[in-house]
């Protein structure tokens, strides 16, 4: 790609640095993460889990949703790598993953909604 030239050279970054452009696979991975947050309930669950570890029953109460509905959202968030879970006895606890992506999304959500962490 470094030998590629754009039809119009305006002196911009991409005319001279195409070899640094991320791959389509990288953009696809990012799009998949954003797809996980395209539901307001899932977004709220993720935001809650950024602040505290919770079980399905407590999340159901906080969300005013059934446990199966919350579990559905949790499965999608976990499969995307945004949250993690741990088992303690019969209870499963969920929290936001300690990753760059999860932290960045948490900060972005709070910036967009103009709120701050309750901590």
- Partners of residue 86 on adjacent β-strands: 93
pLDDT value, residue 31:
85
Are 65 and 107 members of one domain?
Answer: yes
Residue 2 pLDDT greater than 50, yes or no: no
Question: Could you write out the three-class secondary structure of 2-64?
Answer: CCCCCCCCCCCHHHHCHHHCCCHHHHHHHHHHHHHCCCHHHHHHHHHHHHCCEEHHHHHHHHC
Residue 7 pLDDT greater than 90, yes or no: no
How many folded domains does the chain comprise? 2
What are residue 18's phi and psi, to 5 degrees?
-65, -25
pLDDT value, residue 103:
92
What does the CA dihedral 26, 32, 34, 37 come to, rounded to 10 degrees?
Answer: -160
pLDDT tens digits along 53-95: 999 999 999 999 999 999 999 999 999 899 999 999 999 999 9
Are 70 and 42 members of one domain?
Answer: yes
pLDDT value, residue 43:
92
Residue 118 pLDDT greater than 90, yes or no: no
Can you give the residue range of the structural domain that contains 103?
37-113
Residue 119: pLDDT band by 50, 70, 90 thresholds? low
What are residue 67's phi and psi, to 5 degrees?
-60, -40
Residues near 87 by beta carbon (within 8 Å), at least 6 away in sequence? 93
Are 94 and 46 members of one domain?
Answer: yes
44 found inside a domain: yes
- Cα 25 from Cα 75, distance rounded (Å): 23
* Average pLDDT value for residue range 15-33: 77
Q: Cα angle at 96 between 98 and 44, to 5 degrees?
A: 145
Are 13 and 64 members of one domain?
Answer: no
* Average pLDDT value for residue range 88-113: 92
pLDDT value, residue 78:
94
């Amino acid at each position: 790609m470094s030998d590629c030239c754009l039809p119009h050279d305006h002196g911009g970054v991409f005319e001279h640095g195409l070899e640094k452009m991320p791959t389509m696979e990288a953009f696809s991975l990012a799009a998949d993460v954003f797809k996980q947050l395209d539901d307001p309930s899932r977004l709220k669950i993720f935001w809650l889990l950024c602040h505290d570890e919770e079980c399905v029953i407590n999340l159901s109460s906080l969300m005013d949703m059934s446990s199966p509905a919350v579990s559905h959202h949790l499965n999608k968030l976990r499969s995307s790598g945004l949250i993690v879970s741990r088992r303690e006895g019969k209870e499963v606890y969920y929290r936001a993953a300690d990753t760059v992506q999860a932290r960045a999304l948490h900060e972005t959500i709070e910036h967009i909604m103009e709120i701050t962490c309750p901590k």
